[in-house]
Chains A and B, each alone.
Chain A
Amino acid sequence: MISIEDESYVISPPTELNIHTVEDFVENLKNELVEDKDIILNLADISEIDSAGFQVLVALKNEALKRSVSLKINDMSPEVYEIITLYGVHTFIENNK
């Protein structure tokens, strides 16, 4: 789920990123993201995402800001795109594509 490639963390969240999976996912992130490395998010395989999942993405973004590392989104599924536009933060993605 989390690997290191070219000095960056590459994160692929669970395909169902919702209230049932976020707890483990966040726990995992907290344990793995120990160094201030750039973050690459791979959101292509997410088939289901809810607000709980969405707010983890925002928290990740905030974390990246705090650590002054970059956060890039590799690709995203239509489901992710939908919820991000729903919450009106679509520029979050557009600038990262």
Chain B
Amino acid sequence: MFFSDEQLLEAVKEFKDEALDLLNGMEEGLLEIREFGIGGDRINAVFRAAHTIKGSGGMLKLTHLVEFTHIAENLLDEIRNNKISITDNMIDTFFLCKDHMQSLVLFYAQNSKKEPDDSLKTMSGFLMETLQTYLNGSVKINAPKKKITKNQEGVQYWQIDIMFSKEIYSLGMDPANFIRYLSKIGEVVKIQLNTEYISDLEHLNPSECLIECTIAFRSSKSKDEIIEVFDFIEEDIELKLTTLNDAQEEQNDENQSEEEEEESESNLLSSQNIEKPIAVNNEKETSIVNSSSLRVDSDKIDILINLIGEMVIANANVVQRASLIENSGLNESVSAVSRMLEEIRESAMKIRMVQIGETFSKFKRIVHDISKQLGKQVDLTISGGETEMDKTIVEKISDPLVHIIRNAMDHGLETIEERIAKGKNQKGTLVLHAYHDAGTIAIEISDDGKGLDEEKIFKKAVERGIISEDSKLTQKEIFNLIFEAGFSTADAITSISGRGVGMDVVRRNIEALRGTVDIKSTKDKGSTFTMRLPLTLAIIDGFLVKVGATHFVIPLDMVLECIELSARYRNEMHGNNYINLRNSILPLLNVREHFSTGNDSENLRENIIVVQYAGMRFGLIVEELHGEFQTVIKPLGKIFRQIRGISGSTILGSGEVALILDIPMLMNHIVALQAHNEKGDANEVKEN
């Protein structure tokens, strides 16, 4: 009754974010329980997640979600109190329940209508029945009472979040007195102390006040009258007052009766026991409690980063003009601004950086599900989860990763019998590993399965008309065939992989992010897929060079060194495209020839820029070197998108356009050229 439909939808959307976090936590908890049992705080964590979702859902009148969650919660509670022991099947059911709750939450977030559609209800019914069987019929379905309590005239429900300042004791105040006083002007329905803020004994400073709590309060007093209670300590308190709808009362009634048996002593005072009801935002809020993190619409950050990008370009212009004026004072100021701009840019980019671990932990569940489906045993090892990368990229690589993992488990890992026959551990291993490498993030997915079968892939590719029968391909080229559209090697098409749409989509998605993917594989030892992705999409540090009249930018992270293409090197080349650089062969690519930029400055000195990517190095022959340069990547227009070797463009201070070289693509080009020139060698490789 306090919400308009619109407000409700808004509140539900906020609830969605919180609920999805909780559900993720629940999933992780379940995975841990499966592995280590219900001990520690694991079962409590899962229970609390369900409990909090039910509570928050209740506040928003998401009746169906509440009813459903309630039963799951009942079973969890029985398990928690050792009345029912958990089984693998039960865990699987809980996984389904988690998925279903997620569907429900997403449904509510999208639809203002209150009732989920039939398919969701059918699923609810099915799961509720299953849960009920586990409950052995001994516990009655104790769904929340659907009574609608009519509010007495003027009586409202409030959620009061209070944080007292640390110094309040020294002012001679006791927070307890204010709470006692509250019960004189209304009813304190429930109080939740946030014990997280009270440390253990070792770190306790006893003269600091560490009381923070959330109070469900019922009173006929107005907001101002309630705030008046705290008038006395106005300066030393952070107070948030929110009205709740009457669903909250139901919730609290129920909580109170359940509470005694439901919350065991061990978790109540533990720091994790914070079931903070979500704040239902509306105009009734008086102040906002500071928090250590906040959710920001990612569009806002994108706008900020875009603006900073524009500033970087504008600044390049300023720097250039200032250098022409040759005024030392001006130059100093300009370089100060540039330095600060760089710092701003870096901090702005950091906002977007997230740890990849969250995405990784999602795979635990996927691996669990698939291994069950396939009847294979899989040990998943994850490392490098703390590696940070741009959120957009993290989101976009999730699908390709899932696909590669599925393929690895389906096609890569053998069945238990096969593994035993081969003398391998019957449990297959799958390793996810992320790390920084030369300005890129590398993500490796390795398995210890049977490896890619070159012959089979070759045959299949011929069958599918991707290559002709007499093609001579290197091992690497053969492996890369699996990324071709319409390629599938599965003998039987399973529901997990092998639908023939997949690996080509994987490669396309990764390339769209300016990334690459490559494969290493040894027969019967396993395969490793390595994805390499840029740290960020928008701004890079570049190295500016000029060839003829055209400017090119090379991503600085990939530049190893610059050397002059001296007469000595030139003589040694004998017209070939490589030089001997400190006793190793360095393949070269002449940028002028490659991009046919014209031939107007024949006698200019030439330089070689040695670049490294994915453990390989090669040299680019360019003319002028202009040095380090911060650059904002602008995508090329549609017409130019087909040009291989150019990943984007940028605008220089002078207003000229510079093209950003796509090093991975050029690297592929060189590798292909080499393979072409060394066909004979290639055949040998193949025979090996």
Contact = CB atoms under 8 A, between A and B. Distances in A.
A52 B193 CA distance: 14
A36 to B, nearest CB: 12
B207 A91 contact: no
Given A22-B207, A96-B265, A60 B201 contact: yes
B200 interface: yes
Interface residues of B, number: 33
B209 A51 contact: yes
A88 B191 contact: yes
Contact of A94 (B179, B206, B260): B260
B190, B264, B269: most-surrounded residue (chain A CB, <10 A): B269
B169 A86 contact: no
B264 A86 contact: no
B271 interface: yes
Most buried by A among B207, B259, B260, B265: B265
Given A22-B207, A26-B204, A65-B269, A88 B190 contact: yes
Contacts of B260: 91, 94
A86 B179 contact: yes
A77 interface: no
B268 A89 contact: yes
A25 B174 CA distance: 18
A46 B269 CA distance: 21
A55 B198 contact: yes
Interface in B238-278: 259-260, 263-266, 268-271
Contact of B269 (A33, A62, A86): A62
Contacts of B210: 55
A48 to B, nearest CB: 11
Interface in B174-206: 174-176, 179-180, 190-193, 195, 198-202, 204, 206
Contact of A52 (B180, B192, B201, B206): B206
Contact of B200 (A19, A63, A83, A89): A63
B211 interface: yes
A30 B193 CA distance: 24
B193 A89 contact: yes
A61 B180 contact: no
Contacts of B227: none
A61 B210 CA distance: 15
Interface in A36-50: 50
B319 interface: no
B213 interface: yes
Contacts of A22: 206-207
Contacts of A96: 265
Given A55-B198, A62-B271, A65-B270, A26 B174 contact: no
Given A23-B207, A88-B190, 17 more contacts: A26-B206, A30-B201, A30-B202, A50-B176, A55-B198, A55-B210, A58-B195, A58-B198, A59-B198, A62-B270, A65-B270, A66-B200, A66-B202, A86-B180, A87-B211, A91-B265, A95-B265
